[in-house]
Amino acid sequence: MTMDLARKTGTTLLAYSGTNATAPIEAFAAAAEDIDRAEHTTPPVVTSAERWTVSFWADKTVDNSAWTPPAGQIARHESHGTGVGRISMLATDSGQRDPAGDQRPPDRHIELGGQHRDDVDPRPGARRSLIEHPNRRGRERVEGPGLRPPRRHWCGPRRGG
């Protein structure tokens, strides 16, 4: 990534095997917000059956020191920057294949950050798809059958309370 000025950025890299290497994204939905509040509505997306959900949130405010993932999502990576203009991020996934239909989490909210969402359509014989999430005020969801959780040396599930 090349930038013409000095800027703060944040990147989260999740690697999933079993995705379609040529067209891993089935569908997506996004919502951006320029207001400060502690909770944001998740955008809906209609998917086929047997898809995994991968979500990403990013926030660039001084007030964000913790994320609370929505019900049904497993935290895979959480980070918080320091100083002025710090960036905090959370990456989650469903940990299992989801049914067909509207894939909003039951509570439809996450604390802090806007949302952006993608869905993945892996096909038999696919090797691996790398999904890179550059910093943005948003949420990303990637869904597909046969996805496996990220390898622990990239970002494993969070343990403890």
Give residue-wise pLDDT tens across range 100-128: 555 554 433 344 433 333 334 344 443 33
| Burial of 157: CB neighbours in 10 Å, binned 0-12, 13-18, 19+ | middle
**128: in domain:** yes
**6: in domain:** no
**130: in domain:** yes
**38: in domain:** yes
**56: in domain:** yes
Domain count, the chain: 1
| Burial of 84: CB neighbours in 10 Å, binned 0-12, 13-18, 19+ | exposed
Stated pTM of the model: 0.57
Determine the structural domain holding residue 24 and report its residue range. 11-154
The torsion angles phi and psi of 102, rounded to 5 degrees, stand at: -65, 120
Closest CA to 40 of 61, 63, 68: 68
**160: in domain:** no
In angstroms, the Cα distances linking 28 to 39, 57, 66, 154 are 21, 14, 26, 24
**148: in domain:** yes
**What distance in Å separates the CA atoms of residue 161 and residue 159, rounded to the nearest whole number?**
7
Instruction: Indicate the average pLDDT of the chain.
Output: 61
**159: in domain:** no
- How much of the chain exceeds pLDDT 90, in percent? 0
Give bridge partners of residue 29 from the DSSP assignment.
Answer: 117
